[in-house]
A and B are shown apart, each in its own frame.
Chain A
Amino acid sequence: MDCETQKDAELEAPSIIDRYYTRWYRTDLKGQLCEDHCILQHSNRLCVVTLAETHPVLQNGRTIKSIDYQISNGCSRLNNKVSGKSKRGGQFLTDFAPLCRITFIFYCFCNLKAAFSCIRGRLLEVNENILERPNLLLEKPSTEGYIAVILPKFEESKSVTENLLSRKEFEIVVSKRDQPQAS
């Protein structure tokens, strides 16, 4: 199959994400340039936390060394247990709650970055598949390489995205970064 037809097929490609989820973005987390996250909000109000394509971890030349859900001495996101329909017991997160620590190699240098919640809500699960296969985070950051699933409070389902950027707003922020600074 030639290049043209392949591109057409991809354009026509119905994306599960676009059909059921709305993309929201949080940029420059904790003042760190380009550490952007993408929150996929399902129509049923569940949110999937992922790294945005602009995040330093996902750029060319990186390999993931390890992912650690132990964010402090007393807290591991792996210990999160929810039970029942109302998801009792899940750790309640605020906007800047760390989810995991990502250790990656770039040009022989070891780097550490953290992924954050970005929204308020109850932690339902963290992605254990990326513990076993850390490169999944690089290969499929928007799907199989997701970080966590968070359930916002029912009353806050709409307001939870007020601090986030839409896809269009995100693209504007990104394009401003590429422009040279006026001197």
Chain B
Amino acid sequence: MRSSGRATAAAQTFVFSQIAETVKAQNYEFDSLVLSISLPAQLCVREHSCWLHVKKEVREKGLALDKDDVIQVKEAFKWIMQSLVAKELGGGVAVVSKSVFTRMAVVKALEKISDDKFLKQYPCPPARPASSCVPQDVQCLHVSVFIAGRYNKFCRSLPQTPWLIDGERRMESSVEELIAAPVLTAFRADGFNFSSSGREDVDVRTLGNGRPFAMELQNPHKSRLSKLQMKELQETINKSSDKIRVRDLQIVTREAMGRMKEGEEEKTKSYTALVWTLKPIQKEDISFIDDIKDLTLDQKTPLRVLHRRALAVRQRVIHTMNARYVDAHHFYLALKTQAGTYIKEFVHGDFGRTKPNLCELLKTDTDILELDVESVDVDWPPAIPE
């Protein structure tokens, strides 16, 4: 087959420069790149036609040739383009063959159709195209970067995730948004996925070392931050709001995200609750609480979450408790419990659906006025000394 050398070279330069310009304009920071190409499905038909032509010519010369022996247009294109792009942008090259569109229907049809039938419908060799190809679109996507840390929540009117009902915001801001804003700016990322080792209610504070969290940053334009820069980012988050605080902020791997979820099911948590009693109490009335060890509760799914959870009975253990007298109707209750224990329901009984409960133990109606998370006993992410 003849080809026009100069026209091909010009087309090459055009495609290559369009790719290089787009990547530079989006100002990414990267060590390596992968060039992924999507070619129109019609190309399969042209290739099939070429192949039939080559097959006929080769047979006439008495040689045997397999379809796999012929290099696909897509591969040849990538080999040429990838090295040009890499040289211009300074990244190492990873050659990954990735098919973007499903052209399965076309490919399957070509497999089924007989050579004779095909030749009746399509010219062989394929007609020379009138114009050279033009890239339709160049899109860039950086692999996600993962960061982790621990957060404190000092506010009793802040949800962990945005609280929206019917598209309307019910409460201003959220823990994840307050943390994400400076992080997205620092990494110049398009979006994020926030997850944490458990959650607390809107009206519950998270004290102590805080709760482990991790964030996936999507399409970050900047992917490397030094330890010092991470410390500065942490400072920026902490200065931006007095409702939350972040510590141990660090870049982690994707695998590390799984470690955080394992903490959610297995580890223990500590709490302090402010309890109200209907019956007036004396110090002696609550001292027996300190002696209770490893109390097993049967907790039916609390009514307040039953609309979105399955109805079930969960056994959970309260390992230790400590009562601190305040006045005739109030005392502070410190608890260390198994992960997944519903504290509020243990205190007020949830219509008797959590047994045993504090009302039964104290033989009076009780309610919980305030709750704080004192510690989430997961030793991940690794602590970073201040």
Residues 6-18 of chain A, each 1 if its beta carbon lies under 8 Å from chain B, else 0: 1001100111100
- B residues 306-359 with Cβ under 8 Å of A? 306-311, 328-329, 348-349, 351-352
Q: Answer whether residue A84 sits at the interface, using C-beta atoms and an 8 A cutoff.
A: yes
Specify which of A1, A9, A13, A46 is in contact with B303 (CB 8 Å cutoff).
A46
Complex Cα distance, B300 from A82, in Å, reads 13
| Set B328, B352, B367: member contacting A16, Cβ < 8 A | B367
* Complex-state Cα separation, A101 to B91, whole angstroms: 78
Query: Once the chains bind, are A48 and B351 in contact (CB under 8 Å)?
Result: yes
B10 at the binding interface (Cβ < 8 Å): no
Q: Interface SS of chain B: helix, strand, loop or mixed? A: loop
Chain B residues whose CB sits within 8 angstroms of the CB of A151 once the complex forms: 306-307
23 contacts between A and B (CB under 8 A): A9-B278, A9-B280, A9-B328, A10-B278, A13-B276, A14-B276, A14-B369, A16-B367, A42-B304, A44-B304, A46-B303, A46-B306, A46-B307, A48-B351, A83-B310, A84-B310, A85-B308, A85-B310, A87-B310, A129-B352, A143-B352, A144-B349, A146-B351
Report the minimum CB–CB distance from B154 to chain A (whole Å): 22
Q: Which B positions have Cβ atoms within 8 angstroms of A?
A: 276, 278, 280, 300, 303-311, 328-329, 348-349, 351-352, 367, 369
Cα A44 to Cα B305 in complex, Å, equals 8
Chain B contacts for A42, CB-based, 8 A: 303-304, 307
> Are the CB atoms of B348 and A85 closer together than 8 Å?
no
Check: A36 CB closer than 8 A to any chain B CB: no
- Interface 1/0s, chain A 116-143, versus B by CB < 8 A? 0000000011010100000010001001
Q: A83-B310, A143-B351 are in contact. List 6 more A-B contacts (CB 8 A).
A: A9-B280, A42-B307, A48-B351, A82-B310, A127-B351, A143-B349
Closest chain B residue to A151 by CB distance? B307
Contact partners of B278 in chain A: CB under 8 A: 9-10, 13
- Chain B residues whose C-beta falls within 8 Å of the C-beta of A10 in the assembled complex: 278
Give A84's nearest chain B residue, CB to CB: B310
Bound CA span A149–B329, Å: 31
Return the CB mask of A57-101 against B: 1 if under 8 Å, else 0. Answer: 000000000000000000000000011110100000000000000
A45 at interface, CB cutoff 8 A: yes
Query: Does A20 sit at the interface, judged by CB under 8 A?
Result: yes
Report Cα–Cα, A9/B310, bound state, in Å: 37
- Which residues of the partner chain A approach B276 to less than 8 Å between Cβ atoms? 13-14
Q: Which residues of A contact B (CB under 8 A)?
A: 1, 6, 9-10, 13-16, 20, 42, 44-46, 48, 82-85, 87, 124-125, 127, 129, 136, 140, 143-144, 146, 149, 151
Which residue in A6, A14, A129, A149 is a CB contact (below 8 Å) of B306?
A149
- Chain A residues, CB < 8 A from B307: 42, 44-46, 151
CB distance from B214 to the nearest CB of A (A): 25
Q: How far is the CB of A139 from chain B (nearest CB, A)?
A: 11
Residues in chain B near residue A124, CB distance under 8 A: 306, 311
The CA of A10 and the CA of B369, in the complex, are separated in Å by 15
Residues of B within 8 A of A16 (CB): 348, 367
**Bound CA–CA A82/B311 (angstroms):** 7
A155 to chain B, nearest CB (A): 14
CA distance A46 to B352 in the complex (A): 17
Choose among B280, B309, B351 the residue that contacts A85 (Cβ–Cβ < 8 A).
B309
Residues of B within 8 A of A136 (CB): 352
In angstroms, Cα B308 to Cα A124, docked, is: 13
What separation, in Å, do the CA atoms of A42 and B276 have in the docked complex? 22
B304, B306, B310, B349: the one within 8 Å of A20 (CB): B304
Residues of A close to B352: CB separation below 8 A: 127, 129, 136, 140, 143-144
Nearest Cβ in chain B — how far from A145, in angstroms?
A: 8
State whether A1 touches B280 (Cβ < 8 A). yes
Closest Cβ neighbor of B311 among chain A residues: A82
Q: In the assembly, what is the distance between CA of A14 and CA of B305, in Å? A: 21
Assembled-state Cα–Cα distance A48/B304 (Å): 11
